[in-house]
Homo-oligomer: A and B are copies of this chain.
Amino acid sequence: MSESEVGIPPVLAAAWGLRERSGKGPRPGLTLERIVAAGVKVAASEGLGAVSMARVASELGVATMSLYRYVRAKDDLLDLMVDAAIGQPPPRQPGEDWRAGLTRFAHTYLALLRGQPWVVRVPIGTPPITPNQIAWMDHGLEIMRDTALAHHERLSAMMTISALTRNWALLTADIDAAARGGGISTEQAMAGYARLLKLLADPVRFPAVGDLIASGALDNPDEPADDDFEFGIARFLDGLEAHMTRRKDG
């Protein structure tokens, strides 16, 4: 306890409900919860780009600078908004084995991010440590409780699944946003991407991409099926399974 006498960052104290009011001074007219909820509302209806301190304040009918009595900076607000948006993880299913559990985890998380596409656009600046993020992490680790995996391997598995899910949510959200921006359907936006690839990627210079295009893999608009996402998750789970049996047998 010599040099590392650093306390808990204010945002985290707020997120974990550790803010002690001294009792003095005027009674607060706002709560962090209301501010965060207002931010989430703006983000949900108008996108993350519309979330400014002024916009959130006007949503609450207060002055912009009033928010700074509850939040040190906008980044803090964004972190709290993400925590509120992901909410609590679903309850553990009793008879579920680890593979079904992790698959369900990925699907639930993806659906959640799909419902609030702005969440994956919030720039990340720290490892996850807000209450609901920890709760989701706990949920995932719990699913792997009875496996042969080491603890750090479970953590790594959680990171992998989260990363793949977030990445897929971001990619599809980008495509959707481009589609909405151009007034076309998601399928048309996908087709537009395939067309661009054909136009720009010379098959002589990029033979493997040329093969990909020639294979027609990009032509069928099976986008809503999330095939690529499923494939990535399933292969990773295959790998986990192989790793476990290898450990048991070896």
0 or 1 for each of A206-245: is its CB under 8 Å from B? (1 = yes): 1111011001010000000001100110111111111100
Asked whether B235 lies within 8 Å of A160 as measured between CB atoms, the reply is: yes
Assembly CA distance A48 to B6 (angstroms) = 28
Asked whether A155 lies within 8 Å of B196 as measured between CB atoms, the reply is: no
Asked whether A152 lies within 8 Å of B227 as measured between CB atoms, the reply is: yes
Q: What is the predominant secondary structure among interface residues of chain A facing chain B?
A: helix
Asked whether A201 lies within 8 Å of B134 as measured between CB atoms, the reply is: yes
Partner of A167, one of B125, B155, B163: B163
Kindly provide the distance from the CB of A190 to the nearest chain B CB, expressed in whole angstroms.
Answer: 9
Copies of this chain present? 2
Known: A193-B129, A217-B152. A238 touches B228 (CB 8 A): no
Contacting residues, chain B, for A150 (C-beta < 8 A): 217
Partner of A232, one of B151, B159, B241: B159
A91 sits at the interface (CB 8 A): no
A86 sits at the interface (CB 8 A): no
Asked whether A125 lies within 8 Å of B174 as measured between CB atoms, the reply is: yes
Contacting residues, chain B, for A10 (C-beta < 8 A): none
A104 sits at the interface (CB 8 A): no
Asked whether B138 lies within 8 Å of A206 as measured between CB atoms, the reply is: yes
